[in-house]
Amino acid sequence: MLNTDWLFFQQALLGWYRPDRRPMPWKAIKDPYAIWLSEIILQQTRVEQGLPYFERFVAAYPTVVDLAAAEDDAVMKLWEGLGYYSRARNLLKAARMVTAEHDGAFPDTYAGLRTLPGIGPYTAAAIASFAFDRQVAVLDGNVFRILARFMNDSTPIDTGKGRKHYEALVSSALGATQARTFNQAIMDFGALVCTPRKASCHQCPLADQCASLVAGTVYDRPVKEKKLKRRSRYFHFLVVSDRKGNTIIEQRGEGDIWQALYQFPLIEVDRDGLTTEALPQQDGWPDWLPADQLKLTRRSPPFKQQLTHQTIVAVFHHFTYPELPGEIVGRQVVKNKMFSNIAFPRVITKYLADKTLLLDLF
C-alpha cells in the first residue's frame, strides 16, 4: 500500500475523532495506575458493566501502593461478577511488583510495562501511549477488524505470523501521528463505526478507500484460522445445610478455572442428565458425607456459564443434614447470611440470587 493511502487513513480517522463521542476513564487522565486499572477491568467486559467496578476499585484503592497492600480475598470480592479471575490475581501481583520493585512508579516504556504480570501487548501499548506519550500503536480486536476490512486483507489474525503482519500494518497506519490520539481514535472507531456485526459503512469516513466495502467482504473480515472449540463440563454442587442456617463451602485449588474462589462441594461428571440419586456413587462424593443421613430438599434447574473454551452446566442439589460436622479438612462451615461476603464464581452467585430456589437458605 502506498504511503498516501495511510495518509488518507490517518486524516479520515483523526478528522472523525472527538473525545466526547465515547467518554472513557482513561481519556481525561495521565495517571498510569488508573489507566492500567481501567484497561484490565474493561478487558472482555462491556464498558457499561466495567465502569462501576473501575470506580469502586479507585475508591477502595486510590493508589497502586494501596492496592498492593490489599487482602487477596477483599480484591477477589470486589472483582466478583467480572469473571476471568486470573485478571484479578494478576492485578494484585502487578501492583505488588510495582510497589516492591519500582518504588510504586509504573515502568514508563512499552518493554518495561510488558514485564508486569497480566500486561499483554495491547495493555502495554495503551498505558505507554496514554500515560507516557510513547509512540506505539495498540492492536486489539477492533484494530484487527478495521485494518483487515480497510485493506480487504485475508491474513488470519490468530496465528503468530498473522499477528506480526498486523503489527507492521498498524505501525504504518500510526506513522508520525500522535499515538495517544491515534489509539483512542481507532478504538472508538471500532466500537462506534466499524463494528463487528452492523458496521456503519454508509457514514464511514474511510468508505472511499475501503477495499472490503468494494469487494463485498466486510463481514468476512477479519479471518480466523482456528475455530473456537468449547467443551462442556457438568458440575453438580452439593449444597449441604443444617437447620440453623449453616452451609459447607470449600476453596478451589490451582490448575483449573476459578482458582481460589469458593464453591459448594463439587462432583464433576462428563455427561448430562445425572440424577440426584446417582450422585453418591460418583467419584468425588465426599467421604465425610453419609448419603443415608441427607434429606434432599431441592434440585435446581441447570445454570449455564459460558467461558472462552468451556461451557459450565451447573446443577445445585440442596440437602439438609441434621448436624454438620464441626471440622472437615479443606472445607468450612459458614452462616448462610455471610454468602454475600464470599467470592463465588458467577454461576453460583446466579444460583444464590434466584430466591425461588433458596427459600430455606435465607
Tell me which residues are annotated as active site.
Answer: 39
DSSP calls for 30-84: --HHHHHHHHHHHTTS-HHHHHHHHHHHHHH-SSHHHHHTS-HHHHHHHHTTS--
Residues 147-186 close enough to bind ligand SF4 by CB under 6 A: 149-150
Cβ atoms of 331 and 321 within 8 Å: the answer is no
CB of 205 to ligand SF4, least distance (A): 8
In this chain, which stretch among 27-35, 53-61, 156-164, 207-215 interacts with ligand SF4, using CB under 6 A? 207-215
Nearer to ligand SF4, 7 or 338 (CB): 7
Q: Which three cell numbers stand for residue 150?
A: 480497510
Backbone phi, psi, residue 277, to 5°: -60, -30
3-state helix, strand, coil in the chain (%, to 5): 45, 15, 40
Report the nearest approach of ligand SF4 to the CB of residue 311 (Å): 31
x/- map, 117-146, ligand SF4, by CB under 6 A: -----------------------------x
Q: Residue 212, interface with ligand SF4 (CB under 6 A)? A: yes
Alpha carbon distance 317, 297 (integer Å): 8
CA 264 to chain centre: 23
Q: Which is nearer to ligand SF4, 214 or 278 (CB)?
A: 214
Q: Which is nearer to ligand SF4, 126 or 194 (CB)?
A: 194
Interface with ligand SF4 includes 91 (CB under 6 A)? no
Contact region for ligand SF4 (CB under 6 A) — 134-142, 201-209, 242-250, 339-347?
Answer: 201-209
Considering only the stretches 103-111, 135-143, 194-202, 348-356, report the one whose residues sit in contact with ligand SF4 under the rule CB under 6 A. 194-202
1 binding ligand SF4? (CB under 6 A): no
Residue 78 lies near ligand SF4 (rule: CB under 6 A): no
Task: Compute the distance between CA of residue 119 and CA of residue 90 in angstroms, rounded to an integer.
Answer: 9
**13/37 with CB nearer ligand SF4:** 13
88, 116, 206, 358: residue in contact with ligand SF4 (rule CB under 6 A):
206
DSSP state string for 278-341: TGGGSTT--TT--GGG-EEEEEPPPEEEE-SSEEEEEEEEEEE-SS--S--TTEEEEEGGGGGG
Residue 94 lies near ligand SF4 (rule: CB under 6 A): no
Contact between 265 and 289 (Cβ < 8 Å): yes
Interaction between residue 24 and ligand SF4 (CB under 6 A): no
Query: Chain centroid to CA 118: how far?
Result: 11
Which lies closer to ligand SF4 via its Cβ, residue 16 or residue 285? 16
Which residue is associated with the grid cell 434466584? 354
Site residues for ligand SF4 per CB under 6 A: 146, 149-150, 193-194, 199-201, 204, 206-207, 210, 212-213, 218
